[in-house]
Amino acid sequence: MNILWLQSAGCGGCTMSLLCAEDPGLTELLEEAGLSLLWHPALSLETGRQVLDLLTAVERGETPLDILCIEGSILRGPNGTGRFQMLSGTGRSMMDWVRTLAPMARHVVAVGTCATYGGVTSAGENPADATGVQYDGAHKGGVLGADFVARGGLPVINVAGCPTHPGWVTETLLLLAAEALTADGLDGYARPRFYADHLVHHACSKNEFYEYKASAAALSEIGCMMENLGCVGTQAVGDCNIRAWNGDGSCTRAGYPCINCTAPEFEEPGHSFTETPKFAGIPVGLPTDMPKAWFMALASLSKAATPRRLADNATSDRIRIPPTLRGPKT
């Protein structure tokens, strides 16, 4: 299967993340799966006329295109022309190329939250009119329109994340190569369910602190970051703490709150990413699927039962009190 990768408006961080794929690495994985990279602007040798000839051949149907991957948001400005971002040497906007090539592809994959929903590039007043490939924020209606379906029968597959996990990209490509990804395998925002059916909270290393509501008050402390530091891992989809980054990393394991980067419009929460909005001292954002009254009742009981070990460690930058050693059975 052939893959064409376009980098639109963004930082290129999803490609940098993808290069961190391990066991196997990216090159080995593509080769073993029978996936051929026609062109990637940062990884391929072809430039200039070679690339233009390739794009033209795909556009004419002379070169088959199985998977079109798009990284970065699409700029529609100024005034809907897309000319804020031209694909160098072609005389045409990136928006025009995406709209031309997408119908030629068997599958279209938006890589990263900028490509899926607009992401950071669309934040603020969005003077460039940045949008996702098929979504504009949380609503369908990106540059390909709400009704777009690729030749393989699927809408744009949204591998969201900022940056996206390399394993999410490679597993999506492998599923497409095996013709094993169906509409039932995508969630309500067209994210692959193999990672979107999980919460970042699952397997978080701070879960014991969360259970007892033993909370950190500063970023350098090891307690749960939900109550005071803006962590929304109980609401954010992603298997970040199950499928660790680079072997053993994640945002929460590194001591930074989950900011829900796999979700539409995460880039504008209306407050600091490290601040938990509260009403009458109660966090506004509660765990997914849990009624507020139940959460408050459980939280009160949990705080009352918090072991001293957790209470003291939560506001420390390291383990101060180790778990109690159990004596031998008599």
Architecture of domain 2-196: 3-Layer(aba) Sandwich (3.40)
Q: Locate tokens 């295109």: which residue?
A: 65
pLDDT in tens, 157-192: 999 999 999 999 999 999 999 999 999 999 999 999
The CA distance from 295 to 136, in Å, is: 33
* Confidence tier at 29 by pLDDT (50, 70, 90): very high
- What residues have CB less than 8 Å from 42, skipping those under 6 apart? 7, 12, 15
- Of all residues in the chain, the percent with pLDDT exceeding 70 is 99
Residues 288, 290, 295, 301: is their CA dihedral positive or negative?
Answer: negative
Identify the pLDDT of residue 303: 84
CA proximity to 13, closest of 63, 71, 61, 80: 71
Mean pLDDT, rounded, for 218-230: 95
The fold for domain 200-316 equals Cytochrome-c3 Hydrogenase; Chain A, domain 2 (4.10.480)
Mean pLDDT, rounded, for 62-73: 98
Give one DSSP letter per residue of 119-175, joined into a string. GGGG-TT-TT-EE-SSEETTEE-STT-TT---TTS---EEE--TTPPHHHHHHHHHH
Mean pLDDT, rounded, for 256-260: 97
The CA distance from 201 to 209, in Å, is: 12
* Confidence tier at 206 by pLDDT (50, 70, 90): very high
* Confidence tier at 248 by pLDDT (50, 70, 90): confident
- What residues have CB less than 8 Å from 85, skipping those under 6 apart? 8, 9, 74, 75, 93, 94, 95, 128
DSSP structure class, residue 90: T
pTM above 0.85, yes or no: yes
Length in residues, the chain: 330
In the predicted model, is pLDDT for residue 292 greater than 80? no
Identify the pLDDT of residue 296: 74
Give one DSSP letter per residue of 283-318, joined into a string. ESS--TT--HHHHHHHHHHHHHT--HHHHHHHTSSS
Domain parsing of the chain, residue ranges:
2-196, 200-316
